[in-house]
Structure 1
Amino acid sequence: MRFVRGVAVPAAQSTSRNLCLALVALGAGVRLALALGTDTYFDEAYYWQWARNLAWGYYDHPPLIAWLIAAVDIRPAALLCGAGTVAAVWGLARDVHGSAEAAWRAAALWSVVPVAILAGVWATPDSPLLLFWTLALWALWRERWVLAGLASGLALLSKYPAVLLAVAFLATAVRLRRLPAGAWVTALLGVLLFLPVVLWNANREWVGFAFQLRHGLGGTGGLESFAEFLGGQLALGGPVLLPLAGVYALRGPREQFLLRAAAVLPLLFFGYAALRTRGEANWPAAAYVAACVGVAGMRPVWFRAAAFSGLAVVLAVGSHLLFPLLRFERDVPLARTHGWATLSTLAEPARLFPDAEAKEIAIVYAPSYQLASQAARHAGVFVDTAGGGRKSQYDLWPEPVVAPGQDALWYSEGPEPPEELVQRFTAVEGPVELPAEFRGRRVHTFLVWRLRGAR
């Protein structure tokens, strides 16, 4: 036996807690290192643009991530949400299993799930979704109906798929043939908090809801896109945690049906969506909250297998993003997380076009919302999209006014300025190459054109 703060604890139990504490600390260290060691991710720059134009809704998602960024900035928003989710997973697992040891196992496992690391570093709608999904699940488990309603409403303000938690609760009520009266309080509060988003959509021809339906269920899918989805889950959920989530959902304790449903429904829904369209691997991220809590109650060997396999993925990808040793022909993770600070040069066009007449640039155009947002973030310039790319919030905002005679820039990673944009100016110069490097390797080659004299 070992004694901890005067209480007799079995040696194996104490060792297990030490391992869990080490994993929690390691996960926190990885999140902090990635937050400090990478550039603003292009989706983060897009949400930062939202934060400069606060509203009750946006083309792509509900507004909570924008509000958080406006309050505390980009990376602090993700780090705070990530730390809060670890604490909430601990509390949920303690109440589910009635054991502090199981709570530490769940928190440790969540700390090294790859998708949890991503949401705890890069500020996306997943960051608050995972926090408030966990808090809502915890409150529902404890039948704290007011807290469940507030947390559910905030989850819906984070991301539309939060509605799947309500489906999991209803499935549980049907299974147990019991619907507590307090659940109506939860539903009412959740709906009231989400109502402004509904009204925002209603005043804009339901653009947010329509986009998500097209994005999630439209397009071209099939077995190939489903295989990509499955591979994404093995990477972002963890190669061991994913199958264990299935085992827990099918064979977990009957009294934990709510958690089992919360683990399997996002995977089933987005797995079905993958048969319809090519989606994103992070979409069912919330499933792994309940999966971690469920695995924490299994044999310790499964907890260790899930934790160390997830940690291996986190360390492999994290070390590559900070100290890349391997070279890939198309290194998407490295390109998305580095080299964007080079765009500050767009604020100084004389460095790019030294022979041109010195004139202030009115606006910078780009072919996508990601590139436009990065230019706004790093160069502090007015931006807009052009060229018929995927619609975004830029299509809802008023088009910036370019006065006659003013100059503009177009930048991309390949495409030339579209003809409809060129026709609005008297002359076009370029392209000028703007390279971006990270640790001695080229991660971007931006091409910049100068559009002279707006008509």
Structure 2
Amino acid sequence: MPASIHRPEFRPSSPAPVWERNPALCAGAIIAVTTLVRLWFVVSGQLDLVQDESQYWDWSRRLQLSYYSKGPLIAWLIHTWTALLGDTETGVRMGAVVNSAMAQTLLYLGVARLFRAPALGVLTLFVANATPLFMASGVLMTTDSPLLLCWAGALFCLHWISREPRRRAPWVLLFVCMALGVLAKYMMLAMGGVAVLWLWGLARHGLLARGVAWRVLAVMAAGSAVGMLPILAWNIANDWVSFRHVATLAGVAGKAAKTFLTPDRLPEHLGAQAGIITPWWLGLMLAGGWRALRNACTGRTDEAAADAPLLRRDILLAAGFWPLWGGMTLWSLHTRIYPNWPAMSYVAGIMLAACCLADLLAARRRDAALRAEGARTTAWRRLVPVWAVLGVLTFGLVHAQDVLPLPPQYNPATRLKGWADLGEHLDEVRRQLPDPDRVFFFSDAYDMTASLAFYAPGQPVTYCADFGRRMSQYDIWPSPADKVGWDAVLVRRDGPDMPRQLGAMFDSAQVTRYQSTHRGKPGRAFWVVVLRGFNGNWPSSGSGAY
């Protein structure tokens, strides 16, 4: 997108689009329709719980101040919803649906009222609902669901403070967003870096009131400290395992820290980002981000020199997008970056993409007027409707898994399906054993163990054996040492060769492969091992891997 666009006067050939004439009505319709679709998706049971959801649900059955890999907020929220709706898929996921509706409302009100651009708010909602990342966050109850709400809230609070520093509400809300965000996920601490760059950008253009910088940093630090208190208390009692785990994943500890550059990971990272955002919206985010960064550096906007409201917006969005997105991209040269790690950069990113989309739509209207006068216009702008249609189709297909026109072997969601059917199969296996009431279930991977906890008959306490893996929450909880003499069922993703340690744990083992189904279609395949006579020998979790 060019740095500056000359906009000649023209007479529109058609009335303004509906989102400009009735933005509040359009925003309400988008929020209502998408929320109802998400609610239908959750209630219809098209997709079994993904393993992380099952893990957080299992945490919610044993409420603690924190957990091995995440803060406690996700468990607290799921516990609240399942107390109301039961230990069902709907009960687990209802929080995601509600969080999505709240996040959309916040995005629209923030853009419409704080940026004073209601039509842009509607386009922001459209872009958000057309990205797979936001779609997944609206139906999957993972830590990114409450984090997105807290991150967006903190971002808008910063902008509100820059405009009205004497108001008390944005300061209180900023404190609350920081505290809850840290309880949701440690990534919320990165908002402190965003705030520092935002403050610096405002200060260098004379847009920061006296004393605001120190107050902002103090409020954010206080909110973060409150959120970290239960996490620190839990880690003190558990050998700081959360911080060891995060350091290992970030590549600053463990084996990954020994290799500084792994450039082959960069294409994988960029491909994953294009997949969770879609290439066209990611392209608009980068274009809008570059323009916002240029304006933030020069103090000018495309519309006018020294336009304070637009400059404030560009400084905020540039600070909210580039440090996290760019930092994660550079860090992918050192270690593996999980696709959702830069997710919070896309809160600002969807607003940047919406800004570009608004300009492209305005340019298309100018093009229409110029074509009417026989002038030549830019052809590539005609792709905008294609992107919009693709976005709507993506939303429809993601929320209509049963009609997805892909063979099961090519459908990425297939590996997430079949757990409910496996649970029924395990119930049959258990009943065929001599004493069905003295059977426990376990796996050798934390995610499989968590799904067993939800889908195994009776939703029992399940266990995770360490046959040479990294640590998990299940290593902190008790082992089945009190179940000597019981039989067991082991479920694995790999087979048919079984871990050699099983011979020292049980009297006998029988291995079978089970092909699950979901709504009459093939689901995930599992290896089911029926084990007789547990002797109490449980592998210790001493591998030292975090």
- How far residue 22 of structure 1 moved from its aligned partner, in angstroms, is 5.6
Given candidates 8, 17, 35, the residue that maps to 1:28 is 35
The residue identity in structure 2 corresponding to 1:31 is R
| Partner Cα separation in structure 2 for residue 395 and residue 330 of structure 1 | 35
| 8 Å Cα contact 1:362/1:402 also seen in 2 | no
Is residue 149 of structure 2 the alignment partner of residue 115 of structure 1?
no
Equivalent residue runs for 1:298-313 within 5 Å: 298=356, 300=358, 302=360, 307-313=388-394
Q: Structure 1-normalised TM-score?
A: 0.89
| Partner Cα separation in structure 2 for residue 309 and residue 285 of structure 1 | 21
| 8 Å Cα contact 2:96/2:137 also seen in 1 | yes
| 8 Å Cα contact 2:179/2:225 also seen in 1 | yes
Q: How many residues are aligned here?
A: 441
Is residue 349 of structure 2 the alignment partner of residue 291 of structure 1?
yes
| 8 Å Cα contact 1:149/1:185 also seen in 2 | yes
- How far residue 296 of structure 1 moved from its aligned partner, in angstroms, is 3.2
Equivalent residue runs for 1:59-78 within 5 Å: 59-73=68-82, 74-78=92-96
Instruction: Provide closer, same or farther for how the CA distance between residues 382 and 142 of structure 1 changes in structure 2, counting only shifts above 3 A.
Output: same
Instruction: Provide closer, same or farther for how the CA distance between residues 439 and 238 of structure 1 changes in structure 2, counting only shifts above 3 A.
Output: same
Q: Which residue of 2 aligns with 1:403?
A: 483
Q: Which residue of 2 aligns with 1:12?
A: 16
- How far residue 44 of structure 1 moved from its aligned partner, in angstroms, is 0.5
Given candidates 182, 185, 197, the residue that maps to 2:231 is 197
Q: Which residue of 2 aligns with 1:5?
A: none
| Partner Cα separation in structure 2 for residue 42 and residue 57 of structure 1 | 19
- How far residue 193 of structure 1 moved from its aligned partner, in angstroms, is 2.5
The residue identity in structure 1 corresponding to 2:330 is Y
Which string of whole-angstrom CA distances, capped at 9 and with x for unpartnered residues, describes residues 87-107 of structure 1? 111121123421222222222
Is residue 244 of structure 2 the alignment partner of residue 210 of structure 1?
yes
| 8 Å Cα contact 2:69/2:242 also seen in 1 | yes
| Partner Cα separation in structure 2 for residue 327 and residue 299 of structure 1 | 34
Q: What secondary structure sits across from 1:246 in the alignment? A: helix
- How far residue 82 of structure 1 moved from its aligned partner, in angstroms, is 0.9
Is residue 216 of structure 2 the alignment partner of residue 176 of structure 1?
no
Is residue 215 of structure 2 the alignment partner of residue 138 of structure 1?
no
Is residue 179 of structure 2 the alignment partner of residue 153 of structure 1?
yes
Q: Which residue of 1 aligns with 2:374?
A: none
Which string of whole-angstrom CA distances, capped at 9 and with x for unpartnered residues, describes residues 365-405 of structure 1? 11211111111101212211112233211111122334332
Q: What secondary structure sits across from 1:223 in the alignment? A: coil
Q: What secondary structure sits across from 1:437 in the alignment? A: strand
- Over alpha carbons, which structure has the higher Rg? 2
Instruction: Provide closer, same or farther for how the CA distance between residues 186 and 94 of structure 1 changes in structure 2, counting only shifts above 3 A.
Output: same
Given candidates 383, 386, 395, the residue that maps to 2:462 is 383
- How far residue 168 of structure 1 moved from its aligned partner, in angstroms, is 0.7
- How far residue 83 of structure 1 moved from its aligned partner, in angstroms, is 0.9
Q: Which residue of 1 aligns with 2:167?
A: none
- How far residue 147 of structure 1 moved from its aligned partner, in angstroms, is 1.0
- How far residue 330 of structure 1 moved from its aligned partner, in angstroms, is 5.5
| 8 Å Cα contact 1:368/1:390 also seen in 2 | no
| Partner Cα separation in structure 2 for residue 13 and residue 359 of structure 1 | 65
Given candidates 269, 279, 288, the residue that maps to 1:248 is 288
Q: Structure 2-normalised TM-score?
A: 0.75
| Partner Cα separation in structure 2 for residue 278 and residue 189 of structure 1 | 30
- How far residue 309 of structure 1 moved from its aligned partner, in angstroms, is 4.3
| 8 Å Cα contact 1:65/1:124 also seen in 2 | yes
- How far residue 268 of structure 1 moved from its aligned partner, in angstroms, is 1.4
- How far residue 25 of structure 1 moved from its aligned partner, in angstroms, is 4.8
Q: Which residue of 1 aligns with 2:441?
A: 364
Q: Which has the higher strand share?
A: 1
Q: Which residue of 2 aligns with 1:55?
A: 64
- Please say which of residues 26-35 and 440-449 is displaced more in the overlay: 26-35
Which string of whole-angstrom CA distances, capped at 9 and with x for unpartnered residues, describes residues 158-189 of structure 1? 11111221101111112333561431233213
Given candidates 109, 116, 127, the residue that maps to 1:91 is 109
Is residue 188 of structure 2 the alignment partner of residue 188 of structure 1?
no
Equivalent residue runs for 1:230-241 within 5 Å: 230-241=270-281
Instruction: Provide closer, same or farther for how the CA distance between residues 284 and 309 of structure 1 changes in structure 2, counting only shifts above 3 A.
Output: farther
| 8 Å Cα contact 1:226/1:274 also seen in 2 | yes
- How far residue 52 of structure 1 moved from its aligned partner, in angstroms, is 0.8
Instruction: Provide closer, same or farther for how the CA distance between residues 15 and 261 of structure 1 changes in structure 2, counting only shifts above 3 A.
Output: closer
Instruction: Provide closer, same or farther for how the CA distance between residues 301 and 309 of structure 1 changes in structure 2, counting only shifts above 3 A.
Output: farther
- How far residue 65 of structure 1 moved from its aligned partner, in angstroms, is 0.8
- How far residue 413 of structure 1 moved from its aligned partner, in angstroms, is 2.8
Is residue 266 of structure 2 the alignment partner of residue 226 of structure 1?
yes
Q: What secondary structure sits across from 1:132 in the alignment? A: helix
| Partner Cα separation in structure 1 for residue 394 and residue 111 of structure 2 | 24
Q: Which residue of 1 aligns with 2:534?
A: 454
- How far residue 317 of structure 1 moved from its aligned partner, in angstroms, is 4.1
Instruction: Provide closer, same or farther for how the CA distance between residues 325 and 199 of structure 1 changes in structure 2, counting only shifts above 3 A.
Output: same
| 8 Å Cα contact 2:56/2:75 also seen in 1 | yes
Q: What secondary structure sits across from 1:280 in the alignment? A: coil
Consecutive aligned runs of 4 or more in structure 1 exceeding 6 Å deviation: none
| Partner Cα separation in structure 2 for residue 65 and residue 322 of structure 1 | 29
| 8 Å Cα contact 2:397/2:403 also seen in 1 | no
| 8 Å Cα contact 2:157/2:174 also seen in 1 | yes
Is residue 205 of structure 2 the alignment partner of residue 165 of structure 1?
no
- How far residue 21 of structure 1 moved from its aligned partner, in angstroms, is 5.7
Instruction: Provide closer, same or farther for how the CA distance between residues 15 and 262 of structure 1 changes in structure 2, counting only shifts above 3 A.
Output: closer
